[in-house]
Structure formats: structure tokens, C-alpha cells
Amino acid sequence: MIDAAFVGAIAELTRRGDGIQVLKLSAEPAHVYLLRHPDGKVTREEAIPRPVFHKPGSLKSLVQLAVLRYADTSKVPEIWYSRSGVTVVFDPEERRDVAFMKLAKSPQFEQLENHGGKPMAQAPFLRWLKVDLHGAVPDPFIDGISIVKFRYNEQNEGTIKQGSKSVGRKIESELEGAETLVDGVSLSGQGFVGGPFYAGVNAASEIEVVAKTMQLTPFPGQLERALRRGEADVGREIESLLAAHVGQTEETYNGPIRVYYGTP
């Protein structure tokens, strides 16, 4: 059985809210609305606006958003950067409105991460150097790989054992053009897409004559070192863009908008 007092309370709440209406106006922002009360009175109400989340396509646009917001509101934004992306916190006290630009690794860098050190036959290896690592590998190194030829000499080899005789093959593997090869190479290219952030990676070149395979292996720590260098370049580029807005140089930038390494 439903309690009578409960039913009465529901009826009273329904009666009180019966005349309240929310009216949206097309000419007003989404967070502004009108309330019509049971007594006929109309009031204009403002809810807290939804947080702003900008997605600029370049560092230049991102820094410009921070500068413009500071000029309009006098609130000092913060800019944070790391290998995952760059974030502007427009109001460090409220921390609601932000702009974020993702930093994606370049295709060449991802190729080195995913396929560096993997043995490949000569033709796929050359294609990997020329196409997938386009612009990162020095031309003389590619030219040296392209003229290498594998050659095999096979000779019959007989072995006499007690009560049996076996004939095997002796294989001599030779490499033509080896004098043009080098043991190591320095690779260069974009560490991150969307900015002039270049990261050098030193790698070892190896050839397995019998298997007829080739591989390029970054030395230990080189990829991580290159990413850290790329992150530092991002920070310098942000400060350089900020400095240009206040008539300073990157080396002397001391403006109000601060730049931090990490995530907010």
C-alpha cells in the first residue's frame, strides 16, 4: 500500500512545478534561457557555460589563442607541453577552458620504432629506406646498399666414414660491393608532425650474407634521446612565438604567459 503522505507530497511538488517553463531563445547563447514562473513572472537566467575546448591545428594558432585570451580577460594562461601534446589552460584558477594540440610522431620516426632492427631482404630493405624513411637516410648510404650483390659458390664435398660414404655441399657466401658500406649511419628528420622539430638518430647497419638479409638498428637510447630533443624544440618554439608577440627574442622572453614541461 502506498503511503498517503507520500502521494500528497508528490501532488504538491507537481502542483508547484506545473506552471514553470524553460524557454530557449535562438538569439542567445546556449547557456542563457528564460524561466516563466507559476505567477507569470519571466526571468532571464544564465547557467555556467560549457567548458571551451579548442583544437588548433598549429603551434602558431595555439599560442595566438593564449595571447588573445590574455588580452581580453587579463587572466594569465599557462602553456604545458610534452610528447603527447601542447595544452593551454586559459584560466589557471578555474581550469575549465583549454586548447589542446596533439603532437604526433612523424611516419619516419614510427617506422624506426616499429621496424628498426628487423631483417629484410635487399629489395624490401631498399624500399623501406627510400619510401618509408623518405628524407631521413643519407643518399650515399642508400646508393651503397643498392649496388650490393650476394653471390654463392657451391662445391661438392665428400666424406668417407666407416661403412658409408656421404656427399654434401659446401657453400661459400660472398658479398660484392661491400667496400661501399659503412657500419653506422646518422638519420635525421621530423620527430613530430606539424613543426620543424628535427631529431637525429644514430643507427648500425648489418648484413647477413648467408640469409641475404639487411637491417638498420638504432643504437640503444637513441630514439628516446631524439624524442626528448624534439620535446625541447617544441618548448623553444612556443617561447619564440610568445616572444614575438611582446617584441622579445626567444633567449630573452620574460612575458606573463608561462611555459611548463609536462601535463596540467
Cα–Cα nearest to 112, from 182, 196, 215: 215
How many CB atoms neighbour CB 189 within 10 A?
Answer: 21
198: which residues sit within 8 A by CB, 6+ positions away?
Answer: 188, 189, 190, 191, 230, 233
1: which residues sit within 8 A by CB, 6+ positions away?
Answer: none
- Does residue 193 contact residue 106 with C-beta atoms inside 8 Å? yes
Residue 132 banded pLDDT, cuts 50, 70, 90? very high
Q: How does pLDDT run across 37-95, given as a tens digit for each residue?
A: 777 777 877 777 778 899 999 999 999 999 999 988 888 999 999 999 999 999 998 88
Decide which of 28 and 134 is more confident: 134
- Rounded Cα–Cα distance for residues 45 and 189 (Å): 54
83: which residues sit within 8 A by CB, 6+ positions away?
Answer: 103, 192, 227, 230, 231
- Rounded Cα–Cα distance for residues 117 and 205 (Å): 9
Residue ranges per domain, the chain?
4-46, 51-264
- Rounded Cα–Cα distance for residues 146 and 123 (Å): 9
Residue 5 pLDDT > 60, yes or no? no
Cα–Cα nearest to 126, from 99, 153, 156, 146: 146
The owner of cell 589557471 is 92
Q: How does pLDDT run across 17-41, given as a tens digit for each residue?
A: 456 777 776 777 777 767 777 777 7
Q: How does pLDDT run across 193-203, given as a tens digit for each residue?
A: 865 556 678 99
Please report how many Cα atoms fall inside a 13 Å half-sphere around the Cα of residue 262, on the Cβ side: 4
pLDDT at residue number 168: 37
Cα–Cα nearest to 232, from 177, 192, 180, 187: 192
Beta-bridged to residue 169, according to DSSP, are: 156
The owner of cell 654463392 is 152
Cα–Cα nearest to 56, from 79, 74, 76: 79
Cα–Cα nearest to 200, from 219, 179, 181, 172: 219
59: which residues sit within 8 A by CB, 6+ positions away?
Answer: 86, 101, 194, 195, 234, 237, 238, 241
Q: What percent of the chain has pLDDT over 90?
A: 37
Lowest mean per-residue pLDDT among 18-32, 168-182, 208-222: 168-182
pTM of the entire predicted model: 0.69
pLDDT at residue number 153: 55
